[in-house]
């Protein structure tokens, strides 16, 4: 659990900062990524920017499928049999990523990696190990704490 509030929307709403975050994510993406799965809501602008930089299609993963319209949890290309790299803004406990991973896998996607802007989980811990996900982060909690004290 995080003991400090972090207003992540400040970097997501600023085009220059969003561009910097997305650029840093490029080197963290698995080479075999077929689709970028941006999680509602914060992962969507980042996934869109990374998609524009890589040419890899994005899909937008809802927290819950709507009961009207397409009724899909993931909006965009079909996921069955495709490698989806989840894109998230901040991971603390991993709950939203875990739920999305399970739902995407149920739909036939191969999900092994999440790339996030900030991993706020305790150092040395992977809160998503229970679902077999590797976390690749632009920044970690330890790095943010070190920057705050210097």
CB-based contact 38:58 (threshold 8 Å) = yes
Task: Look at 67 and 130; give whichever has higher pLDDT.
Answer: 130
Residue 1: pLDDT band (50, 70, 90) is very low
φ, ψ at 6 (rounded to 5°): -120, 115
Task: State the pLDDT confidence band at 6, using cuts at 50, 70 and 90.
Answer: low
| Cα–Cα dist 33/124, whole Å | 25
CA distance 141 to 93: 12
Q: What mean pLDDT, rounded, does the chain reach?
A: 90
What is the share, in percent, of the chain residues with pLDDT greater than 90? Answer: 72
In the numeric block, which tokens belong to residue 124? Answer: 């040395």
Digit-coded pLDDT (tens) for 19-71: 999 999 999 999 999 999 999 999 999 999 999 999 999 999 998 877 777 77
Picking from 137, 91, 76, 82, the residue whose alpha carbon sits closest to that of residue 112 is: 82
Query: How many helices, marked H, and strands, marked E, lie in the chain?
Result: 5, 6
Over range 126-147, report the average pLDDT.
90
| Residue 67 DSSP one-character state | S
Domains, the chain, with CATH or none: 11-25+32-149 (3.40.50.2020)
Most confident of 7-11, 90-94, 130-134: 130-134
User: According to the model, what pLDDT value does residue 145 have?
Assistant: 72
């Amino acid at each position: 659990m995080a003991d400090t509030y972090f207003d992540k929307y400040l970097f997501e709403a600023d085009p220059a900062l969003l561009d910097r975050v997305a650029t840093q994510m490029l080197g963290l993406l698995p080479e075999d990524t077929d689709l970028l799965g941006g999680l509602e809501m914060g992962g969507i602008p980042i996934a869109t920017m990374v998609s524009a930089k890589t040419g890899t299609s994005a899909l937008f993963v809802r927290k819950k499928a709507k009961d009207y319209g397409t009724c899909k949890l993931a909006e965009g290309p079909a996921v069955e049999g495709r490698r989806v790299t989840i894109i998230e803004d901040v991971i603390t406990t991993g709950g939203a990523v875990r739920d999305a991973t399970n739902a995407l896998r149920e739909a036939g996607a191969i999900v092994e990696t999440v790339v996030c802007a900030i991993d706020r989980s305790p150092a040395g811990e992977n809160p998503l190990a229970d679902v077999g996900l590797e976390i690749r982060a632009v920044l970690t909690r330890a790095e943010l704490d070190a920057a705050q004290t210097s």
